[in-house]
Structure formats: structure tokens, C-alpha cells
Structure 1
């Protein structure tokens, strides 16, 4: 008879995100990350230590730890954030307004401690950060915040107001009407486009000198980190080719397949069967509906670079509230299709900048309610820039009506 022995290997805590200050405080990388965060908070003059005034609400705080990774999965940096427990704030007292918006060279920048640059209009008091309590003040002193902090309900609003309403206009940037996070600077020397997503910035300009001048202005006002050429952003992988720009989500797909343990699954040739329609009450209810919603939500994010799965994902989305086992099978097919098309993506290439749009409708095809599904795709030159597949809210009385409605939706996208 064979004997088997199991051994327990110690976990390298620098490779995981700790869930508590106690665990993080024993690891050098996380100690350094917390020290860097505290130094940045003090440099920004984020708070003053004062006694808590009577009848004032006290907001707690906690440390949150995140590992920032490169496109290849390697660790880029350890990030520790001191986060205010904004759920304990009282509207009208601790805050009044909230907000959450989100061959040219292409550059990526990061604003260090972005929310610390927002100016607070309200009077907010917070407990001292764990592990970094002041030894020069009595233990009952608290932090009176002067700058916004991650976790405060008004923090996104304060940072966005500072950056978009006061700073960018001084550089000649104007907000785009199409996207509140997109800003354009026109001058006699050329054009610069700036995209802001929380604390990440993407710059694209008609000349490198224009981008350099914008970066210099940003660096004078904020503590910036120049990440160089854009290669990885919010799960999107950007590669540069002689014929243009290629955007994919290969790493994101691999992580999604690992979540559902389908890394070794057999690939499918198509994301769905053309003759098969999902039914509302087909088979047994799925025992883990929350997992179904999570996976389908992740698939929705994939449609940013994969219009080929837009129709199939839209079908699965219609059963989020009460998924059946047959719906799970359909989602698994989409994942198996992605397994075989990991490197698919969108190719943006130079050409004549003319708009073209295509639309279609599938009249009365849904056996559950006989509503029609419409779809469209818009090209700028030879590059797709917008697409959607969606079941409509009305029942069309003829195929002609369905086609005209689909055409109207596509035309509205061009307007």
C-alpha cells in the first residue's frame, strides 16, 4: 500500500492582497506602501489634528490594499489606500453632492492620490489612521479633513470639480459633448485629446511636443506618474502595429475562464446556435443565480472589444433575475467560444474618416414575448467604433416596421 504525505507551503503575503492591517503590517512591501500613502496625505495637508467638537459626527477609516498588475500578470506595484468609511456620513451634514463620471502618440499618466486634490466644502472629522496615530497629541484627537479622501461620498465630486472645472479650462481644454470624461484642446499647433478615468489619464495628440507641454502643466499642479506609452488600461490590452492599433482583452478572458474553471474546456466555433432560442421557463432553476449574474456581467464588459459576442450576451442578460440551468449552458458556450478566440480584438487603422452604419432586425424572433431584437454597428473609415444588440420594448406588427425601427436606432447613434 502506498503512503501519501501532504505538506503545507507558506503563503508569500507580498503576492496577495491582505484583508486587515494586522496581516499587512508584517510584510515589508505593504509597510512601505502604507508609509508612502501617509507621507502623501501629510504632504497634501489632508487634515489637522483637533479635539472632536460636541455633536459632530465622527467618520471612521480603514486601510485597503491592492496589487496593481501589468498586462502579463506580473506585479507592477503595491498600493495601500487610506479610505474613509463614507457609509457613516450623514447627507446634508457631512456632504451635499456626489458624483461618479469616468500616427498620434498615445501616453498614459496616473495622478497620485487623486482624491486628495479635491477641496472639501463641508466640515468632516475622521479617526486617526490605524498604525499611524500621532504621538504628539492626546489620544482623543481626531483628523479634521481639509482635503477629500477616498471613501468619502463627496470625494469623486470634489476631485472632478477641481480637475475639470478649474484646471483643464486654464490649459484651453473643452469638455466633449459626447463623453463627460473626454476633453479636447485645439490650437494653431494641433490637437490634444485627454481622457480622464478617476485617477488615470490617457493623452493623445497630433504632435509629441503638445503632449509634453500638457504633461509639464499637469506635473506642476498634481503629483503625477508618467507610465509612458499606453499598453494596458482597465483590462484592455493595446498593441501597436505598422497598420494601426490593436485592442484586445486576452488577459481578461483568461482570468474569466479561470474563475469558472473552463481553462481546459473544448472551444466552440460560434458563441451560440443560430436555431436555438433561450426560453424563460426551460428546465430547472439554477442553484447559484448570483454567480450567473456575475459571469454575465463580466461578459458584458468583454463586448467593449468583442462585438461578435454582443448578441449572445444580450440573450443571456434577459434572464438575470431568474436563470435556469439551460441559460447556464448557453453562457458556458460563450465562454468556450472565447477560449478558442482569445486573441480576437478590434483593429483601428488609418483611412478616410467617413461614417458608415449598418443595422438589422430579427422580427418577432423571441418566443417568450415576440419582441424583436435590433442590432447596429458604426464604422469610422474601416474601424468599428460603436455597436449594440438589444431586444426592444415594443412588438412590431411587421418585419418592415421592425427594420425601420432598427434603422432609426442606428441613425440616432450617428446623430
Structure 2
């Protein structure tokens, strides 16, 4: 998703068309370099040789090699026409020759194509049409179940149809809306609760919510909390899930705008120390913006218990740094060079001090060495750490519940808004 959002932001800022393509029966196009045999299909058995097998000449649906062989067939075709793989994302292929830039993004049999030369793009699409059963769907409108609405300011990503279906299937199409996805006073407590009577329903809804969160960072924290109890959900866990569904009901038209603006990266990182009462692990949260558009966010429980809030913030800072380095590399391949160090905003002065100080303090001896790579990238001018007041920390919304007023303030800073707002 960050690659898709980066590509859309680039198209908006450069005023490039974004073409959407689809291939019919994609997996049937793959070639098979190995000898593969299958049983005779029912209804087509040779009565004289009932034990004979069929040798496959082409790929079939259901064959384990089918997705890989289709991907190899498509990418080999593109490479013969001058494309190369992105070093940052293997689903992105790049053509850059004679001042012509074309970007080809692949997701199984759905493609996005954009670039600065309409003639070259049309020629490429004509060549693809001759080779594959290509369907040109015109300007991007629905990609991976995400509605992409075009406006004068750019794009608006919405999953309103998906959210409506989710509420209907869950039986909450007419529920009362909630103002926040998590009860403001919600904190995990160890009190026992009866097992939920239908764990399968809980898991289905939790999985659907996970997919909905790819355009709704405002529900990322609540979805992560719901996901922690997939194995043995209780009535209390399902009550929290219902609260999230009620919030979605009240914000069903909300989505993610991608607007024109300066193509400069910035990142916010935060952690909530020992927030999980069951194992005392902390939660890391960080989000990255390209100009006014949020393009990447993460909510994740830390792998080990942190001994202090500083350590928890430092681990979150390390994870955010890794994401920033990848985004900078991808942006450079898309010809969006980041000439200045990317600012990472953190509200913990001690964590910033540990990252900048070359001396290992006694309280950091137990921290794994891989977390200390932050200092190297500060020195190389890839990132810069900037202290920010807690009230201005946007990543707070990814780590803890809030009151209605504070939550709405942070959601606005995330730039999550209703359609046509």
C-alpha cells in the first residue's frame, strides 16, 4: 500500500494519468519449464487407459507454480521492453530512458501504469494487448477493492462499499454509531470473561477490519487490539469489536485523500510503555507523510518487554527509522529525491539522547545491537531526530485510546476526512 500511495501522490503532483489494467485468466498464461503431470479430469477419462496421466503444456489454476509462472511471464515481457525491477519493491517495474519515465505496478492480475509520456504508454499497452488478454479499464477507479475517486485536488481513497458490506454481514447495518473506535477509558485488565460463543465469527470480522484499516489509520490501534485475541476471544473482546464496528458506522464515508503538495517525507513515532497488562509489552506506532498525504503507518506490539518508557520509545524510533530508509529509497527510484535528512519527530528526549550519544549508558547494555543503527543514519544525514511536544505527536493515535476531543484532533492531523469534505 505505501508503494501504491506514493505512486498516486507522484501522479497527482506531476499531473500524470493513472491507467488501470486487468488481465483475463492470468494464471493460464504461465509457461511451465518443468515436466508436470495431472490425473485425467472427471468426465474426460480415457476408458482404454484409465490410469494414464496428462502432461501439462501450460499453467492451470490450482497449480502451485501458477502464480509464480504468471509473474515471470509478465515481468520477462516487460524486461524485454526496457523495464527493470525496483530495488525497493519487486512488484514495481520502472522504465527510464530518453527522458521517458513509466512506472508499472503489479498486483497479481491488476496493474497500475503511469508516466510522463502518453505516446510511450499507449504503445506499451498495445504491445501488452497483443501478448495477453488485456482489459484496459481506463483511469483508475476501483483497485484492490478500494474506490479511487478523482477530484480537482487529487485522489480520494475510500472503502465505503466494503465497510457497508462488512456491517451488513455482521448484522450491524442499523447500529448506533460510536464517536471513537475504543472506549476512552479502555485499558486492558486481567479480569476473566466468558469465552465468546462463536470464535469463527470473531475471526472473520477481525480479518475484515484488518483489510479496512489499509485506508483508515484512525482504526489501526483498535484493530490491532482486536487482533490480539484471535485465538480465544471472550465476550469482553467481542464487546470491544462491536465498539469498533459502531465507530465505522458513524464514519463510513471517511477515507484517505491524496492531495497535491511538497513531496517531502516526515515521520512521527511514539510508544505506549507496558500497555499490555497480560505480558507488559509496549506498543509501537509510527506514521510517515509525503507532503500532506499519509503514506505509511504501523501499530505493533514490541517483541520483548521494555524496562523503561525510554527503551520503549527507542525501540519504536528504531522501527520508524527502518521504514523511513525504505521510503527514501523508493522515493528516489520514483524520482522524488529527498535532498534533506528526513525529520523523525519523537516526544521522548531521553530516547533522542541515546540515539545521538555515542557512549553506551548502563541502562542500554541489554538492548540488542541492531536497535543502535539509528546513530549511523543520523551521521550519514539520512534522518534527523526532532523533539516534539506530546500534544503535537500525531503518532499518539496509533498507540492508545483517547477522549472524543483529543481523538478528533489527532484524526484531523492524520488528514482522515469524509468524502467531499
TM-score by length of 1: 0.71
Are the aligned partners of 2:190 and 2:277 in contact in 1 as well (CA < 8 Å)?
no
Residue 130 of structure 1 deviates from its aligned partner by: 6.2
Once the 2 structures are TM-superposed, how far is the Cα of residue 363 of structure 1 from its aligned partner?
Answer: 1.2
Question: 1:153 aligns to what?
Answer: 64
| Residue in structure 2 matched with residue 114 of structure 1 by the alignment | 26
Question: Partner of 1:169 in structure 2?
Answer: 79
Contact 1:372 1:391 in 2 (8 A): yes
Task: Give the aligned partner of residue 3 of structure 2.
Answer: none
Shift of residue 210 of structure 1? 2.7
Q: Helix, strand or coil: the match of 1:304?
A: coil
Trace 1:42-53 onto structure 2 (pairs within 5 A).
Answer: none
Shift of 1:129: 5.8
Higher RCO (C-alpha 8 Å, min separation 6): 2
Out of 254, 267, 280, the residue aligned to residue 164 of structure 2 is 254
Alignment match of 2:198 (pick from 270, 276, 288): 288
The answer as to whether partners of 1:105 and 1:207 remain within 8 angstroms in 2 is no
Alignment of 1:404 onto 2:303: no
Judged with a 3 Å threshold, the aligned counterparts in structure 2 of structure 1 residues 312 and 112 are, in CA distance, closer, same or farther, namely: same
Q: Which runs of 5+ in 1 are unaligned?
A: 1-102
* SS of equivalent to 1:122: coil
Q: Using a 3 Å threshold, how does the CA distance of structure 1 residues 392 and 116 change in structure 2: closer, same or farther? A: same
1:301 pairs with 2:211 = yes
Q: Which has the larger radius of gyration?
A: 1
Shift of 1:177: 2.2
CA–CA distance in structure 1, aligned partners of residues 112 and 271 of structure 2 = 36
Normalising to structure 2: TM-score of the pair?
0.70
Distance in 2, matches of 1:300 and 1:280, equals: 25
The CA deviation string for residues 230-263 of structure 1, in whole angstroms up to 9 with x for no partner, is 1112210000010011101001101111111100
Give the Å deviation of 1:190. 2.7
Give the alignment's Cα RMSD to 1 decimal.
2.0
Summarize the Cα distance change of 1:181–1:171 in structure 2 as closer, same or farther, 3 Å threshold: same
- On the 8 A contact 1:244/1:349 being kept in 2, the answer is yes
Worse-superposed segment, 234-243 or 182-191: 182-191
SS at match of 2:32: strand
- Say if 1:185 and 1:191, in contact at 8 Å, map to a contact too: yes
Distance 1:214 1:147 in 2: 25
1:238·1:245 contact (CA, 8 Å) conserved in 2? yes
Match of 2:173 in 1: 263
Which residue of the partner structure matches residue 35 of structure 2?
123
* CA deviation vs aligned residue, 1:30-88 (integer Å, no higher than 9, x gap): xxxxxxxxxxxxxxxxxxxxxxxxxxxxxxxxxxxxxxxxxxxxxxxxxxxxxxxxxxx
SS of equivalent residue, structure 2 residue 36: strand
| Partner Cα separation in structure 2 for residue 129 and residue 227 of structure 1 | 35
Q: 1:126 Cα deviation (Å)?
A: 3.9
Contact 1:351 1:381 in 2 (8 A): yes
In structure 2, C-alpha distance between the alignment counterparts of 1:397 and 1:251, rounded to whole Å: 44
Whole-Å separation in 2 of the counterparts to 1:281 and 1:321: 18
Aligned length: 310
Match of 1:104 in 2: 16
Q: Distance in 1 between matches of 2:92 and 2:199?
A: 36
Does the 8 Å contact 1:286/1:328 carry over to 2? Answer: yes
Structure 2: give runs of 5+ residues left out of the alignment: 1-14, 326-421
Residue deviations 1:335-393 (CA, integer Å, cap 9, x gap): 11011111111111122111100011111222212211111100011111100111111
> Hey, which of these two has a bigger chunk of helix by percent?
2
Query: Which of 323, 342, 345 is the equivalent residue of 2:233?
Result: 323
